[in-house]
Amino acid sequence: MPLHLLGIRHHGPGSARNVKEALEQLRPDIILIEGPPEGEALLQWALHEEMQPPVALLVYRPDNPQDATFYPFAEYSPEWQAICYGRQHHIPVRFIDIPLAHEFALREAERVRQEAPSEDGGADGIERQEDLTDESELRNGTQPGTALVTEALADELLEELPEPDVYRNPIRYLAEAAGYADPEVWWEQQFELRRGSLETFDALAEAMQALRDTLPLKEDRREQLREAFMRRAIRNAQKEKWENIAVVCGAWHVPALQNMPSQKADDALLKGLPKVKADATWIPWTNSRLSYESGYGAGIDSPGWYTHLWNRSQDDGTEWLVHVARVFREQRMDISSAHVIETLRLAHALASMRQLHRAGLHEYNEAVQSVMCMGDGALLQLVWRELIVGHQTGSTPADAPQVPLQRDLEIWQKKLRLKAQDAPKLLQIDLRDESGLQKSILLHRLLLLEVPWGSKRAAAGKGTFKEEWELYWKPELSINLLEKAAWGNTIEEAANALLGDRAAKAQQLSQLTRLMENTLPAELPAGVALLMQRMDQLAASTSDVGELMQAFLPLAQVRRYGNVRNTNTSTIALIMDSLLARIIAGLPPASSGIDEETGAALAALMVQMNSAILLLEEEEYRSLWYEALEKIMDTHQANALVCGSCCKLLHDAQEIDELRTAQEFSKALSAGTDPAYGASWIEGFLKESATTLILDDRIWQIVDEWLGELQPQLFQEVVPVLRRTFSEYTNTEKRQLAQKAKAGGTATTTTIQRENLDEARARTLLPLFYKMIGAE
């Protein structure tokens, strides 16, 4: 039975083209591909019209979705081309790598071992090592290339590189043996820009065998397990009497599949492996994620360039440079046809000087920087971002198997015409429009589910009908969504359930109020009811007035502006009534017997609380609030700074007249009062309120007389407090205060110079002036 081992590098157009041509020539009756068996049932969707790479197989544990693995596929991935060939020709396609059900279980066992300290202070575990198919890891889709290299070259290379790193980046060895400093340049010249044949795969196998035989490699159990599963799949296919078997795998594994140990040895290795449940689904992928070497990326430096090589394999560079010119022109740079021609000539000349049969990306980049960018390397970053990497985002069929929560999100995305894009995009929403309101609700619900597809930007003003979001979809957000799948089958259901759990676990009112502020825009009545219930429980059990006020403040904003979103605020009003009643009852005793630092914090909260009361425009709230402030002023042991703040708030609201204000000043600054108390009282009243001193001569006189009667020693003690108060005034306010002091304590006015005033001409302006101010 013919067995054809096609060693490849994942995500390379050269390997993909070679595999496609080899399959057309070999015409196998079954194709075995290095990949997760859990995803095999999903291959039926590969030729669906809505399936557009880049996409990824997401394999995860249903009971722990964070334990997941991505297998990305681009159009130029050799495995993708093998899958499509098999589906087009109705040939069975199987994945033959280690099942993720075992991999997840082994990872969990490894984590347990690492968490348990060993005798030498370390932790035992399975060492993970990379191979030719795993430049980052197979599970991350990172697979480097193969090479045409002889055993003699490998021997020469071994002498120069005594510490092998073949698992991490094997092509580095092959590239340096061939005299290349950059492995990617070597790979591109040897494979991506050349057309291969079946002999290419034989040469790759020979090169990998040379590396395996020559380099002092450590035994790695995980690699042994993976290759044992691959051999088992091959044996099963042979037992099923398939006559022409093609295996597409990383070239590093080819020698292990050519020279098989006994079946008994493999069975012994695979016996008794732990196992957990694993599910799989298709998700869209992006070029930017393909370009990342760590995390969930595939480690491709130039996915956009590879896409161009796949679709335009015969391009001599002209089409690529036309795209580059277009990018610069979109940025309003002057790029002419002459620039393109000269850049192409320079790139070809560089290739000739370097004895390359064809210019590659390195040559084009150097030529672009020299000719189009005038030597400015910063401009080349624009080409890198827009073309070399690109913003391509894949798509998957709507009817492909998905978890219900993921399907619900896609339904909303289509309904609201919100496309997941691999680039930041600003979205302006008008809440008066039903579609805009639904978009806002969806984005807020996703934030509650910790799926930050959109980040809300600062609005132009409070109460506005406009919202601005920055949308940026990252594939790992699919993992975040899967983690919440246990909470419900729809976005709304999951968000309500998650809110109920968070409400039950909250121990502070401030936590609940912040959560409430984020929940109301998401239109989740059931979740809001649970939050309110928990908030009422915590409010009833706390005696901390500061915490109660901190809980009241954000609710005031929500209640005042909730009508912009047509939000029902009746439930908020009930909890706010309860909070205010507790604040009013607890504030006077909380103001007594406290130190200066606590008094300053309480006074600041009271100022914010006063602003919130005014914002609500509720007469009952105002009446209760100001009664509490007057009660504090009449409390004998109340903190001086708090009392001064209360007097100022009542004075500004005209709840007390000028005479009462002057009396409170006189009482606080009387001769029998501790000067330190008076200084703190003044700080509470005059903080951020220079206008009172500037315009009110009576208060000025009281303060002036108090200061004049202080003994020098006492004056020195209160100066720091007064300096702190006056330091917050603006320069203009300080100047006006200095002018008033210079004038002997009377308010200064600006004298209008009447010299050369033409009264008749001035009177002609009066009708227009009266019209502007709406007067008769």
* pLDDT tens per residue, range 486-510: 788 899 999 999 998 898 888 888 7
Q: What is the pLDDT of residue 47?
A: 93
Question: Is the pLDDT reported for residue 154 higher than 60?
Answer: no
Same domain assignment for residues 40 and 159: yes
Point out the least confidently predicted range of 83-87, 237-241, 754-758: 754-758
Q: What is the pLDDT of residue 525?
A: 84
Residue 504 is assigned to a structural domain of this protein: no
The whole-number average pLDDT for the span 646-673 is 82
Going by pLDDT thresholds of 50, 70 and 90, the confidence category of residue 745 is: low
Q: What is the pLDDT of residue 753?
A: 53
Q: What is the pLDDT of residue 131?
A: 38
CA distances in angstroms from 420 to 305, 412, 414, 445, 708, listed in the order given? 22, 12, 10, 16, 71
Q: What is the pLDDT of residue 750?
A: 46
* Alpha-carbon gap, residue 685 to 55, rounded angstroms: 64
Residue 686 is assigned to a structural domain of this protein: yes
Q: What is the pLDDT of residue 166?
A: 55
Six-digit token string for 765? 């302006």
Domain extent for 428: 404-487
Q: What is the pLDDT of residue 242?
A: 92
Q: What predicted TM-score, i.e. pTM, was given to this entire model?
A: 0.65
Q: What is the pLDDT of residue 94?
A: 96
pLDDT digit string, tens, across residues 673-710: 787 887 888 888 877 777 777 777 777 877 777 777 77
Same domain assignment for residues 261 and 328: no
Q: What is the pLDDT of residue 114?
A: 81
Same domain assignment for residues 227 and 320: no
Domain endpoint, select from 331, 364, 389: 389
Same domain assignment for residues 409 and 354: no
Q: What is the pLDDT of residue 88?
A: 95
Same domain assignment for residues 122 and 231: yes
Going by pLDDT thresholds of 50, 70 and 90, the confidence category of residue 231 is: very high
Same domain assignment for residues 117 and 256: yes
Q: What is the pLDDT of residue 151?
A: 39
Q: What is the pLDDT of residue 141?
A: 36
Same domain assignment for residues 643 and 706: yes
Point out the least confidently predicted range of 96-110, 128-142, 527-541: 128-142
Q: How far from chain centre, in Å, is Cα 457?
A: 14
Those residues whose C-beta lies under 8 Å from the C-beta of residue 2, and which sit 6 or more positions away, are: 26, 243, 244, 245
Same domain assignment for residues 547 and 696: yes
The whole-number average pLDDT for the span 313-327 is 93
pLDDT digit string, tens, across residues 432-443: 888 988 999 999
Quote the DSSP letter at residue 84. H
- Report percent pLDDT > 70 for the chain: 87
Going by pLDDT thresholds of 50, 70 and 90, the confidence category of residue 234 is: very high
Same domain assignment for residues 367 and 424: no
* DSSP H helical ranges for 10-99: 13-26, 78-88
pLDDT digit string, tens, across residues 615-644: 888 888 999 999 999 898 888 788 888 998
Q: What is the pLDDT of residue 373?
A: 92
* Mean pLDDT, all residues of the chain: 81
Residue 217 is assigned to a structural domain of this protein: yes
Those residues whose C-beta lies under 8 Å from the C-beta of residue 347, and which sit 6 or more positions away, are: 317, 321, 359, 363, 364, 366, 367
Q: What is the pLDDT of residue 181?
A: 79
Q: What is the pLDDT of residue 128?
A: 33
Residue 584 is assigned to a structural domain of this protein: yes
Higher per-residue pLDDT: 773 or 372: 372
Residue 774 is assigned to a structural domain of this protein: no
Domain endpoint, select from 389, 414, 436: 389
Contacts 24+ apart (CB under 8 A), 709-713: 709/671, 710/675
* Alpha-carbon gap, residue 296 to 292, rounded angstroms: 7
Q: How far from chain centre, in Å, is Cα 59?
A: 22
Residue 764 is assigned to a structural domain of this protein: no
Same domain assignment for residues 239 and 128: yes
Backbone phi and psi for residue 218, each to the nearest 5 degrees, phi listed first: -80, 150
Contact between 408 and 490 (Cβ < 8 Å): yes
* DSSP secondary structure string for all residues of 596-617: HHHHHHHHHHHHHHHHHHHHHT
Six-digit token string for 665? 């000043």
Residue 694 is assigned to a structural domain of this protein: yes
- Secondary structure (3-state) at 38: helix
- Secondary structure (3-state) at 454: strand
559: part of which helix (H) or strand (E)?
helix 545-561
Going by pLDDT thresholds of 50, 70 and 90, the confidence category of residue 416 is: very high
pLDDT digit string, tens, across residues 31-69: 999 999 999 999 999 999 989 999 989 888 888 877 888
Contact between 157 and 250 (Cβ < 8 Å): no
Q: What is the pLDDT of residue 644?
A: 87
Q: What is the pLDDT of residue 143?
A: 34
Q: Please count the structural domains in the chain.
A: 4
The whole-number average pLDDT for the span 328-351 is 93
Which of 62, 170, 774 has the alpha carbon at shortest distance from 406? 62
pLDDT digit string, tens, across residues 258-315: 989 999 999 999 999 999 999 999 988 888 878 654 334 455 778 899 999 899 988 9
- Of 343-347, 537-541, 559-563, the range with the highest mean pLDDT is 343-347
Same domain assignment for residues 384 and 412: no
Higher per-residue pLDDT: 82 or 2: 82
Question: Is the pLDDT reported for residue 139 higher than 50?
Answer: no
Q: What is the pLDDT of residue 156?
A: 42
Domain endpoint, select from 389, 417, 445: 389
pLDDT digit string, tens, across residues 581-622: 889 888 888 888 888 888 888 988 999 999 989 888 888 899
- Secondary structure (3-state) at 426: strand
Going by pLDDT thresholds of 50, 70 and 90, the confidence category of residue 165 is: low
Residue 369 is assigned to a structural domain of this protein: yes
Same domain assignment for residues 281 and 318: no
